[in-house]
Chains A and B, each alone.
Chain A
């Protein structure tokens, strides 16, 4: 199955196309507006600042002890009968998972929603190994049928409207055309139930992995996550190494923040805490549970005190729902697994700036993302830091640092700096600029595509002030 390709390199073209697509714009505007109100209401009874403080703090504590906690997690998972595997990157994780599937002779696997599996392109890898991976979250299922990738980390099919979904289900599964959401949902339920029964392996993500107890927590509304992790004989959970928390009691505050930030719900329908495979006396649940811990660039982000904040993310999507850029261009424009503000700071770490140099600039720096982030990630600061890295003025810690460096631009700013710190030159410069204003170009590349070019004023501000003073004094 070939997937429609979007790339971060083509951000500008993709954003341009999305902006010219009234359907996409309407779908996103409608969805995101509602989510902002719902989030606000869900926190009405809370001292939100104190709760965010606690959330940020729990994540920071976990990161401060990360290597120890990962070892504790491993020990306690193993004690619970969960087999733990480690992967340096996405490819290694894919190989590990494919091998586990093959060892169990699996031809069909069902998948719960997992962003890290999207990040490592697991479905495509398994497909090449002759294993069909079927998404079981309704949104992911629709997106997969439509040969696309998710456009939002919480609501994968948010870019599609009812008519489009009806067409997809009709074309790909032969379902009678209908605008009735209950009818379509019931049909999907029936289609998916067959798949749960047929699957040999279930693959899921992890929302929180608890070191203290060796417990894997999954947050969901549909029940597909519970099906995926309970019906097949083997359950493979895959997660980034940053998802670990120290204590079981760290979970309720993060869960409270996650469900309210993501969809404005007080709580999700299901909170599933997996503590191991079925015991000999139990009658259902998988007979084997595996946990795959994936690094994929995370330990590199971990080296830098400032960039490290990115790893606090609990993947709630609130930053996207509140981002004026995301809500207009939609998730696919970014061309990356994680779109929106979090994607713009996380993807350069994971993919390098060569490929993603446009993303840190895909922001108005209005600050909304930082204000809503439940774990207080200073996203705007990180965007600025990455912009610096991209032009070679950061610490060079992000792969591809300096790719956006442009000699003319550097020289121009240097000249500007010199002028601005030499008053005499500045004064004569501005006077001359005023005289030569007719010669300034009317086209300045992309800048003037949607704007008029700036022109120096006839008279300088200094001269104006001087004249004003003279007039008011006399």
Chain B
């Protein structure tokens, strides 16, 4: 007993300086990797070697200022095919964490979740369900939630049964240079404020880029979002989200969808091949019981986007009839008709179709008609500026 105590005392007195730990692929990967994550000190770098890591349980990190870095998103693969427990592949609950250069495959629940993890950087990360789009895939690929200051840069997500990149109930968000395909929602910014979503490619999802606000959540009142210079192409994947989830209601063929938010600017994007609409603006249309929730969109600005073909096979109930009545195609910008048009503005040089729906009314009561949205121009939200250390970590 005496000897172990002396040793423990010596270890405890050792330098608390930054340390680098390397974990290589091989047997007992679960225990070795999880031990490294637990024993990390603030400032530690955990290098994960190239190869496949076959994991049986979710991994987690709860130490501030740790960098977890692999040999590249195609070189270092954390495979959760044999996962027996935990709701995600990797869970981060500490601040100032950098995740870089590795892949998470086939997790049973979400891919990588970070909760209450401020100033997190996701760089060159791949999350994929390798069996293609399936209802049995996990919900979210990259899932930062309840956090302040988030950078998602150069990330790729394929196959999420909800959203590939999902940012929820957070503030100060940048999602850039990322690729999302084969997900129900490509990128989703939900119940969040101050987000810049730019330079991304969303293709082959049910919906490309979604900006949502939902009731009965601790953080509501989403808004101050810029969606700009993205390519949102051919998002016509059949919706494979399990019923009950809000994204299960997204019609296939949706490019950018704004639901119940305030001051969202959709600018200079390349939008084409989305069979329902390139841009959709709607209220939250489900029943809810939350007096604090604002279900209608306000101050939605759509300007300077380049529109390719869209609206040729509208994926909502009765869409084919509406298209037929309008000569086979509906306009590329669709508004459900709820909310005050004086706060909505579309300046893309393309027609807009209103569904003429009252807030809360079923889609069967739609009275589709062309509309001009010439509402007052709202100030463009300020650029989200990240701390220099986060930008440096993503260099």
Chains A and B form a bound pair: no
Binding site for B on A (CB under 8 A): none
